[in-house]
Amino acid sequence: MAEARDPEGVTNERSTDSELFSSLFGGAPTHVARAPGRVNLMGEHIDYCDLAVLPMATQHEAQLQFRARDDGLVRITNQDPEFDPVEFELGPAIAPGSRGDWRNYLQAPANELARQFAIWRGLDGVLSSDIPVAAGLSSSTALVNAVGLALAEANEVLLAPAQFAELMAEAEHYTGTRGGGMDQAIGFGARAGHAACIAFSPLRMRHVAVPEDWCFVVADTGVRAEKSGRAQGPYNQRRSECEEALDVVVQFALQHDRLPTRPRGYPDLLRMLGAAEVISLAEEALKARLLKRFRHVVTEADRVDQAVDCLLSADLVGFGTLMDASHGSLYADYQVSSRELDELVAIAREGGGAGARLTGAGFGGCIVTLADRGTVGAVLETLAEQYFEPRGMGDGIDDRLFVAVPSAGASVGIL
């Protein structure tokens, strides 16, 4: 039995997923699909520019206990009563719910798998998740990945993890957010004890061991940043700005004979000229806002390369310095930080963190800070004392403040 709180704050016994399943659907679930959340360590808002990123999966996960059906109906109930039960018919053109409706994250993989593989077998399922919601830890992509995996299993669709990740990244655009492919890639491809350097188009992944005594502490501002709600407009706008900035820079460079041929995207441009030359071109070609966005993308890509080297050589101080620089760039040039995120970052550093930055899309959500085993206690304590306790957020603090454990990717199994 797990404990849950009802809206009045009274603690109740909650039925397990299989008890809830049998009370709703009769009988027992046959399978479970699991999909982890993630914390991004370096490379924010550059996956959609096809530039490499460095996330790791966390110990938190979405779990779907399910049983396949002999028709196309999909019925899913969430253990969390904040989310209404969802029911829909499989098909290649499932009508989306209204913007922000969580059902869209369940329909997204169904719609894509039906389009690509004409799947026809639905399922009954009970979903539970301990990934903090809308906190920049990939709670929504974990839903997409878990439901996608369950439907693939029910319909005997076999895909390699990289193919599955690419398919689910495409699928999630159904929700209206023009996200990149980081969350799906780490969600399927992660290895326990490791972070992964992920490159795109085509998807490639290099696992990098996290040194034994490194601790990545995650702290949640408590300010929700729903990618399908409040954060969607600003997120999509950043992506369009990056596309526009690239077009202007390339056009300028071609006109001034600074490029031999038209590059296929950011990675190609950086390969042709190198980061320093690309930034100096941008300073000539771009003004104000677009220059800031472009500069963040190029410098952040460089920080990812350096961060991988720091991980490989267990250079904690170097990695922390890169985290600080990344946050500075996300604050000043990319403008996706918030007062609460900046405050948490400052407290984490004061508490002895080697470096700290916002993680995920920003606009709220979480920060990540790096400490070693000797200092992690002080970092946790300082964050608790200076951010969470004064705000009356001391109860249930373990959900908001924890050391992330580098964990394995999604899986499906028989119960």
Give the residue numbers annotated as catalytic, written as ranges. 183
If binding is defined by CB under 6 A, does position 180 make contact with ligand GLA? yes
If binding is defined by CB under 6 A, does position 109 make contact with ligand GLA? no
From candidates 122, 179, 320, 364, binder to ligand GLA by CB under 6 A: 179
The contact pattern for ligand GLA, residues 40-69, with x = CB under 6 A and - = no contact, is x---xx-xx---------------------
Number of residues that bind ligand GLA (CB under 6 A): 11
Window contacting ligand GLA (CB under 6 A); options: 107-115, 175-183, 260-268, 405-413:
175-183
From candidates 109, 122, 360, 406, binder to ligand GLA by CB under 6 A: 360
If binding is defined by CB under 6 A, does position 125 make contact with ligand GLA? no
From candidates 49, 361, 371, 383, binder to ligand GLA by CB under 6 A: 361
User: CB of residue 48 vs ligand GLA: minimum separation in angstroms?
Assistant: 5
Q: Cα–Cα distance between 124 and 66 in angstroms, integer? A: 5
If binding is defined by CB under 6 A, does position 300 make contact with ligand GLA? no
C-alpha 41 chain-centroid distance? 11
Window contacting ligand GLA (CB under 6 A); options: 9-17, 38-46, 109-117, 307-315:
38-46
Smaller CB separation from ligand GLA, 47 or 333: 47
If binding is defined by CB under 6 A, does position 182 make contact with ligand GLA? yes
Smaller CB separation from ligand GLA, 17 or 172: 172
If binding is defined by CB under 6 A, does position 231 make contact with ligand GLA? no
Smaller CB separation from ligand GLA, 48 or 388: 48
Q: Residues interacting with ligand GLA, by CB under 6 A?
A: 40, 44-45, 47-48, 179-180, 182-183, 360-361
